[in-house]
Every structure is written in C-alpha cells, then in structure tokens.
Structure 1
Amino acid sequence: MINLRHMNLDDLTVFKKWLYTPHVAKWYHDPQDWINEVEKQDSDFNWIYHFIVENDGTPIGFCQYYACKDSDELWEGYTALGGSYSIDYMIGETDYLRKGFGKKIVGDLTNRIMLHNDAKRIVVQPEPENKASCGLLLSCGFALDTEKEVYVKPLI
C-alpha cells in the first residue's frame, strides 16, 4: 500500500540520491533545480505540493502537483484555459520499478487535484522517448493531444 506524505527537508538526502540514480537522472535533468525547488517549498515554491511516496512506510519515490496558472509554463495553451494542473512523479528505488506503483501514484495525485474546486484537467508532457511514463499516463486515462504533444486528462 502506498502513502503520499508531505515532503520535508529531512527527505532531501534520499531525494538527492534518487535524482542521481541513472533511471531517474535520464529524465530529471538539472537536479539542482529540483533540489532548490524542494528547499524553497515553504517560500518561493509554496504553490507546489511536494510528496514523498512511501510503500509500507519505506520511501520509494517522489511526486508533486501544481496549478499551471501558478507556474511560468504555458502548457501549449492549456494554462490559459484555466483549471489546468500538472504532475511530476518518479519511483526512485529500483526494486519498486515496473510493479504498478506509478499507476497508484498518478491515481492518488489525480484524486488530490480533483479536490480543488477549479480543477478541470491535468496536463503532462513527458519526453516522447520516456515510453514508460507515456504508457503509464495512457493507462491512467490520459489522452495524447498529438497536435500539442501533451497528455491530458479531463476531470469534469
């Protein structure tokens, strides 16, 4: 069973380890940017909801979500529509890869976003070469907007 708990500064050690693990580093470029975000989650980045993913109390990954309007990303026009949220996720521990945890993480993030009154959709743009993430999103009910190369899941 997984649990998403609020990430705190005590989690930075394991988070840094994950960012430099080859299967994560391949997709999470500029690890220092991610570290800075977490270090400033109570100030400059307080609009992002950061979580540590635990399986039976053991930290196995990281995830986050945010309202697109609060970021400086345009999301191929989806931000302007209003009600758009985005997510990021990773399984940091290699022993937990390809065991269905990603689907549970995306499902939990989706449920949390749906609690926001303005939530209309989730938009995600993994690198096209990240076949695992692209397949995961499709299995979680996202559709690829091929024109904009963005995965979208309507919430209404």
Structure 2
Amino acid sequence: MSADTVDIVLRPAGLADEGTIRRWLVAPHVARWTHRVFTAVTDSLGSILQDPDSGLRIAELDGRPIGCIHVYEAGGDSRWKSVADVTGETRAVDFLLGETDMVNKKIGQRMLRAMAADIFRDPAIDRIVVCPHSDNWPAIIALKRAGFREKGRHPDAALNAMYLTVTPATLKK
C-alpha cells in the first residue's frame, strides 16, 4: 500500500452513518451524478445499514467520514451482465466523495486506491469494474489516476456510462 492511502480507512457503514450518507446524497456535487447509481442504496438504506455484509463502506480520512463506497458482486447485477470480462470473481463499485471540502484535492483517487487494495486482499478477486456517467470527469480522472483503465462506453447505452476496470496487476501502488 502506498503512503498516500495510509490515512484513508474503510469501515462497514452502520446505522449511525445514515444521516451523513443521506446528506451526501443530496449535496449538489454528488446528486448530479448519483441519482441512478445509488438509487437502490438510497431506497433501502436503513436495511442495508443493518447488514454488515451489505458491502457499503464508509471512507474516513484521519477519522472523519468523507465518502462511501458500495462494493458488490458484478456478476449478480444486471448492469454488468453484458460485459464479457465480468466473472463471479469480479467486484463492481459505486462510490462518492461526500464532503465538499474534500473535492479537487486528489482525495478521491486515494480513496479508490485504498478501496482497491482492500478488495484485492482477497486473492480470488480478478478485477474491479465501475461505470461512472460519461460526463463525470472528476470521477473518471480519479479512477484513471488510481490505476483504472478505460474500456470505452458501457455496453448498456441507456446508462450513458464509461466502463473502467482495474486488476491486481494494473493497480497503481
């Protein structure tokens, strides 16, 4: 793990995080991009937060919650069924950097590298995939700087999304 991810800690989200997550989801810099991505999480946030295996994680910087990441099995999600290199060992992520004062400080890429390092602790995981809106350049840039490789447009044109992936071998250390 590189020195610039040491201060980013990921922990399971819990009921105490609900107010913070809801505040992040309506922040203008987040709501602009997450209206579709986090809909399932938002609609059932209370029950998700009660399940420690839900894959919803809080990213903290020096003990302060700054964002969240939802990690899930890509093969079990309809958004990924048409992507050829997605397997049962592939994880998909949706993420947001919720705190406005953390934007444009390279915190997002640090959070993404910490998340990828955490996921790849499981040697069975072959890759991580993500599909940000094609106009969400802050997310796309953070992903690329964290080591994700652009694979073009997501096959589902209705998503209007890019498709990016990272493997353990291509993750920037």
TM-score by length of 2: 0.78
| Separation (CA, whole Å) in 1 of partners of 2:134 and 2:39 | 23
The aligned counterpart of 1:155 is 168
RMSD: 2.4
The aligned counterpart of 1:90 is 96
Please list, as runs of the form range in 1=range in 2, the aligned pairs for 1:62-73 lying within 5 A after superposition. 62-73=68-79
State the one-letter code of the partner of 2:166: K
Please say if 1:38 is aligned against 2:45.
Answer: yes
Task: Please list the CA deviations of residues 93-116 of structure 1 after superposition, one character each: whole Å capped at 9, or x if unmatched.
Answer: 111111121111111111121122
| Separation (CA, whole Å) in 2 of partners of 1:53 and 1:93 | 11
State the one-letter code of the partner of 2:25: L
Contact 1:60/1:91 (<8 A) preserved: yes
SS in 2 for 1:150: strand
State the one-letter code of the partner of 1:33: A
Unaligned stretches of 5+ in structure 2?
1-6, 155-161
Contact 1:73/1:79 (<8 A) preserved: no
Cα gap change, 1:96 to 1:125, in 2 (>3 Å): same
Please say if 1:108 is aligned against 2:114.
Answer: yes
Contact 2:14/2:49 (<8 A) preserved: no
SS in 2 for 1:62: strand
**The 10-residue stretch of structure 1 (119-128 or 72-81) with the greater mean CA deviation from structure 2:** 72-81
TM-score by length of 1: 0.85
Percentage of pairs with the same residue? 25
Unaligned stretches of 5+ in structure 1?
none
Match of residue 142, structure 2, among 133, 136, 147:
136
SS in 1 for 2:33: coil
**The 10-residue stretch of structure 1 (7-16 or 61-70) with the greater mean CA deviation from structure 2:** 61-70
Task: Please list the CA deviations of residues 115-150 of structure 1 after superposition, one character each: whole Å capped at 9, or x if unmatched.
Answer: 223211111110110001111111111111126441
| Separation (CA, whole Å) in 1 of partners of 2:85 and 2:72 | 11
| Separation (CA, whole Å) in 2 of partners of 1:87 and 1:114 | 13
The aligned counterpart of 1:74 is 80
Match of residue 121, structure 1, among 127, 131, 134:
127
